[in-house]
Amino acid sequence: MFLKLKKKKILLVDDEKDFLMTIKFYLESKGYDVITAYNGKDAIENLKESPDLILMDLKLPDMDGYEVCRRIRLSSHYKKTPMVMLTCSTDTKFILESQDEGISDYLMKTVEFEQILRTVKKYA
């Protein structure tokens, strides 16, 4: 009898469709199950999929990534779910705010695929 290993689920949240689909297809090609959302409201609704990791853009059309993080952290089920912010900002204030909000890590949106994969493997 063979055991089927459960694929790790990643919730990927970004309002830039091309970026979102590129990262989704890349991560799926590496064996991950990727759930997508284009805004904070959809991200919160997609928590029912029980992601192992959340990759989220800081700037979303309906609320910023910090607000989404705060709302997700209200649920005891997701208090420890790793969240990685995706951003274009190089501001050190962003890094400090991210730590205060319970963000596990952050990635620059201009990062290479291999760095995204290393970060995903670290947390999922």
Q: Give SS3 for 36.
A: strand
The answer on pLDDT for 2 being more than 90 is no
CB 84 within 8 A of CB 107: yes
The answer on pLDDT for 81 being more than 60 is yes
Which CATH class name applies to 9-123? alpha beta
Closest CA to 107 of 80, 81, 88, 82: 88
Taking phi first (over 0 means left), then psi (-120 to 50 degrees means alpha), and beta for anything else, what does residue 19 get? alpha
- Domain segments of the chain as ranges: 9-123
pLDDT tens figures, 21-78: 999 999 999 999 999 999 999 999 999 999 999 999 988 999 988 899 889 988 888 8
Confidence band of 1 (pLDDT split at 50, 70, 90): low
pLDDT tens figures, 91-111: 666 666 666 667 888 888 888
